[in-house]
Amino acid sequence: MQETKVTLIYFGLSLFVLLALIPWVVNSSMGDKSIQTLAIYGGIIVAFLGGMIWGWDEANTSSKKLWIAIGFSILGLVISLIALVNLTISLILLIISLQAFLSFEKKHSVFFKANNKYAAARGLITNLVTICCITSLAFLYNPYT
């Protein structure tokens, strides 16, 4: 099961990388749509990560953690909706929420603590997606586009 999770994490990363590269390779008009798609997809991922908490071992889950899960899910929705009107704020919220969830998972997930390969992949992917967001922000503020 751990191998499947790690493989799927890398597949999810590939879409972030593709969406972050399109603005630099294609054109400015398509770039804006690509970045908007990246932010919306990121919001969906944050909501999905929040939902994962509901599947954690019951001995490790408390009502406080379930409320936090709902908070992450709502934050994912907010990120996706803001992407429709302000990409900069959406991308910044996406970066903050992904890093916050990683920190939360490190502290509270038994699976994360027990599976070094999964933990390493989650950390790496979160940081690479953060780089994709920063790359997208750089495109938005690039004076040459």
> What pTM does this model have?
0.91
- Based on the structure, what is the number of domains in the chain? 1
As a three-state string, the secondary structure of the chain is CHHHHHHHHHHHHHHHHHHHHHHHHCCHHHHHHHHHHHHHHHHHHHHHHHHHHHHCCHHHCCHHHHHHHHHHHHHHHHHHHHCCCCHHHHHHHHHHHHHHHHHHHHHHCHHHHHCHHHHHHHHHHHHHHHHHHHHHHHHHCCCCC
Q: Is residue 13 part of a domain?
A: no
CA distance 139 to 21: 10
Q: Is residue 94 part of a domain?
A: yes
pLDDT tens for each residue of the chain, 145 residues long: 667 877 888 888 999 999 999 999 998 889 999 999 999 999 999 999 999 888 877 776 788 989 999 999 999 999 999 999 999 999 999 999 999 999 999 999 988 999 898 899 999 999 999 999 999 999 999 988 6
User: What single letter denotes the amino acid at residue 54?
Assistant: W
Q: Is residue 103 part of a domain?
A: yes
Q: Is residue 22 part of a domain?
A: no
User: What single letter denotes the amino acid at residue 85?
Assistant: V
pLDDT of amino acid 1: 66
Q: Is residue 18 part of a domain?
A: no
CA distance 137 to 72: 22
Q: Is residue 118 part of a domain?
A: yes
DSSP state string for 73-98: HHHHHHHHHHTTT-HHHHHHHHHHHH
CA distance 31 to 34: 5
Domain extent for 102: 33-140
CA distance 38 to 94: 10
Interior angle at CA 69, CA 95 and CA 43, nearest 5: 35
Q: Is residue 21 part of a domain?
A: no
Q: Is residue 131 part of a domain?
A: yes
